[in-house]
Amino acid sequence: MPELSSKSSGSESVYDLLVCGGGIFGVSVAYEAAKRGLKVCLVEKNDFGAATSANSLKTIHGGLRYLQCFDVKYSFISAMARRDWLRFSPELVRPLRCVIPTTRKLGKSRLMVGGGLAFYNLLTSWRNRDMPAEALIPRAGLRSLNAFTECAENLDNHGVTGAALWYDAQAVNTERLLITLLMQARQAGADVRNYCEVEAVRKDPSQGSFLCQLNEVTRGGIRTQIRASYFADCSARGQFSQSHFGASEPVSYVQAVNVVVAKALVKNAVGLSMKDESGASRLMFMSPWRKGFCLIGTWYFDTDRTTVSPSTLKDIVAQVNSAFDVPKIVPEDIVHVHVGHLPADQAKLRHSGADASLLKHARIQSLEAHDPRLAGAYRIVGTKWTLARYEASIFLNRLAKDHGLSIGPTTFNQRRAEVAQIRALEGLRGLGLSERQLAYIKQYFLAAGEKILALCEQEPDLLEAVPGEVDCIRGLVRYAIEFEAVCSLEDLIVRRMPFGNAQSPKNETLRYCAQVLFRHLGQPLTDEDLMVEQEKLRNFYLKTKPF
């Protein structure tokens, strides 16, 4: 382990809170802490949101599913979280119409399901208070069999008696949503660093703070030492606490898989009964996404692999087709495979399988219970994207209570601060952008309007469209590279630019982005380099082999 000096160098940075892990939970903690007045540093050893946070059906759940296990508290909390995300970024989060079939089985009958929907309406009767028209959530209720069969053509409706209808929300682009939250955390004063690894950390008893050595890969492996009064481990699978503190946890992690299909299979989100090769059925969800795509999932497997085999993809295709009277997709229709790992109960995993073992609630653990010398260090085991901002607020409340801190009020479920970017959009309109290009900027880059305008005024060539993408101007690529901590082509294409979110972009688009990025990094781009980058992206999207 690298040597850490307790003697201050005089130049080391000092923080109130160090957050390790830049997924949605780590970013949410950094945002909440910065907004509530703490000096916070967020470090991520890879790119922000590149692990499990990138694996999602992009559904912001409203809590109806919690009523299946009579968890009224978290049903209410999830509805608040859905409202919070709709307020935080109405450009990127929108109401999503959802349908599941009712059957003659008691638990799925119209009587039982209808009663649950009525209770849910009562529980969330406040959901539309002070909400804009585009974010209103209609009442849930029962519908006829036609409401189910109209969701898609050729649905297998054997045994279906009708439909249950409710509304969740969908994040149009979870990667941009995470980056938006990250940039606002930085604007609030957070120090955010990707490709920066915490190599060593220990408690300095003389000052009661944590000494941390960081290795900043993107700066040539420069090592810096910082101090932080408190420490939050939000790393994927809790790896940091286990490897550095020896703090194991009674939690396993299961592989979660969602797929993106380049077909518009359904008109709204719908739960469909899909059969595996053994004939066992499970309700899976299909959601329309963007123009011409469909999200399907989630499959769970007891493995720590980050890839899936071709045979697994064939099984997934067969299961999807089992929900229809005629086959709808072939393996080649899958253009993006999302793989992440979610926490599961070890005992349930052994006896009930991956599907039934998932943790239902996040866990916030003080590492002081593992080692008294670690007072002030915490581990946050996140579960659902939807609840990240809520759990961040709970963690900050606990941190303040445990250590007698005086911090500001929570940002969770508060009114959104107005984004003063109207002048920037008008300025871009005056430079000749089309209404579609302006709408693209408003949806995906609203908070960055002034910086984008300044770039385009300095270099008019940036007003031109990115090759192969008529709605995206070149200024957006330049902005992302210069201001959003882009270090690789994957960072840029997959997690910063909307056109790479669903599938690999056109070759001309990829070449242009590679040229701009490599020029910014001061590196030449050869045809061989481009081929290597294309292969990396192909492996990223399909997850069929390590890379």
The whole-model pTM stands at 0.95
At 418 the pLDDT is 67
At 476 the pLDDT is 98
CATH of domain 62-171+256-351: 3.30.9.10
Residue type, 6: S
- Statement: residue 501 has pLDDT above 50: yes
The mean per-residue pLDDT over the stretch 83-99 comes to 96
pLDDT tens per residue across span 370-388: 889 999 999 999 999 999 9
- Statement: residue 1 has pLDDT above 60: no
- Better-scored residue on pLDDT, 352 or 126: 126
Nearest Cα to Cα of residue 208 among 408, 1, 16: 16
Spell out the residues 6+ positions from residue 223 whose beta carbon is closer than 8 angstroms to its own: 2, 199, 213, 214, 215, 216
Spell out the residues 6+ positions from residue 86 whose beta carbon is closer than 8 angstroms to its own: 60, 93, 94, 95, 131, 135, 169
- Better-scored residue on pLDDT, 331 or 547: 331
At 207 the pLDDT is 86
Question: Collapsing DSSP states into helix, strand and coil, what is residue 59?
Answer: strand
- Statement: residue 269 has pLDDT above 50: yes
Mean pLDDT for the chain overall: 93
pLDDT tens per residue across span 209-222: 999 999 998 777 78
At 419 the pLDDT is 62
| Dist CA 253 CA 304 (whole Å) | 7
At 546 the pLDDT is 44
The pair of three-digit structure tokens given for residue 517, joined into one six-digit string: 């990025």
pLDDT tens per residue across span 109-136: 999 999 999 999 999 999 999 999 999 9
% of residues, the chain, pLDDT over 90: 82
Instruction: Count, in order, helices (H) and strands (E) of the chain.
Output: 16, 19
The 10 Å Cβ neighbour count of residue 433 is: 21
At 6 the pLDDT is 46
| Dist CA 384 CA 359 (whole Å) | 10
Beta-bridge partners for 171 = 93
Domain spans in the chain, listed from the N-terminal domain onward: 13-52+175-247+370-403, 62-171+256-351, 423-542
* CB 231 within 8 Å of CB 247: no
The mean per-residue pLDDT over the stretch 61-65 comes to 96
Residue type, 473: I
- Statement: residue 483 has pLDDT above 60: yes
* CB 41 within 8 Å of CB 254: no
Do 62-171+256-351 and 13-52+175-247+370-403 have the same topology in CATH?
A: no
Beta-bridge partners for 261 = 294, 334
- Statement: residue 142 has pLDDT above 80: yes
At 433 the pLDDT is 97
% of residues, the chain, pLDDT over 70: 97
Please report how the helices 388-403 and 24-35 are oriented relative to each other, as an axis angle in degrees rounded to 10. 50
Spell out the residues 6+ positions from residue 448 whose beta carbon is closer than 8 angstroms to its own: 183, 479, 483
| Dist CA 60 CA 83 (whole Å) | 9
DSSP 262: S
Q: Fold for 13-52+175-247+370-403, please state it.
A: FAD/NAD(P)-binding domain (3.50.50)
Nearest Cα to Cα of residue 82 among 91, 73, 94: 94
The DSSP line for 309-358 is -HHHHHHHHHHHHTTBSS----GGGEEEEEEEEEEEEHHHHHHH-TGGGB
The pair of three-digit structure tokens given for residue 527, joined into one six-digit string: 């045809």
| Dist CA 509 CA 500 (whole Å) | 10
Domain 423-542 has CATH 1.10.8.870: yes
Q: How confident is the model at residue 239 (pLDDT cuts 50, 70, 90)?
A: confident
At 350 the pLDDT is 85
Residues 288, 50, 499: CA angle, nearest 5 degrees: 45
